[in-house]
Structure 1
């Protein structure tokens, strides 16, 4: 390796998804159901090899596209909220919150492993997916991964993994 530290930034047109959600602020206060056009950005930092390449970033683009496609045009609900309980019965998904029951067609809902559906949590989920194999990343020469998720222009959350986290 020639030692040059380089960052490859991935921010493609297809790294976006439209989804409904509501933020839960407490056991009795939440936003109304609404949606966003979310965008996702990832940056891979590592050393450039003698061949002039840092790493094959194609698999990272595919993972990001797959996650965006899976969440597109769905309602995202948190599986780990201390204030919301999800229950599935047949084709229906029920969300229990503050003494009320919200009923949705199960096919329209994507439960995700978060405490709240926020850009902070979404950035973390994308980041954790990209860094599931930290030793593999290091083997590719990748020393850091940064993921950003936006719910609209000018409102981003950033999640970062670095080789020091291994």
Structure 2
């Protein structure tokens, strides 16, 4: 899908299911139910603009730095990025698409996904979601992206900040 700016990207997102919608479709998103997502996709309700929320801004603004750190830590991968690039599962399922935080190519030419997450740990229960695993809602997003792109692998790079008291 050829998209040139944020306005076009938001409009194109309405035409299918993106990676960040995957957990909602499955009913495992902590942020949006599958009914809310359906109402948004069918035009019953307008999607909330979350772009100015502090955590969203922090995540978006830190992506470039995290992508650069990933490149320094893992020079065996070529990393590319297209802010508004949408990869769709054409022709089988054109309504399944992904906008990647990074596109990876390894030394043998295999294509992969770089998924970047920033999160805060405020309570013990938050740590439990990350204890030796990827939280289910992020895992769903990555599996969706693999389906949309047809790529062979994915790497999650997470920046976890600790705040609050837990124990």
| TM-score, with structure 1 as normaliser | 0.30
Q: Which has the higher helix share?
A: 2
Q: Which has the higher strand share?
A: 1
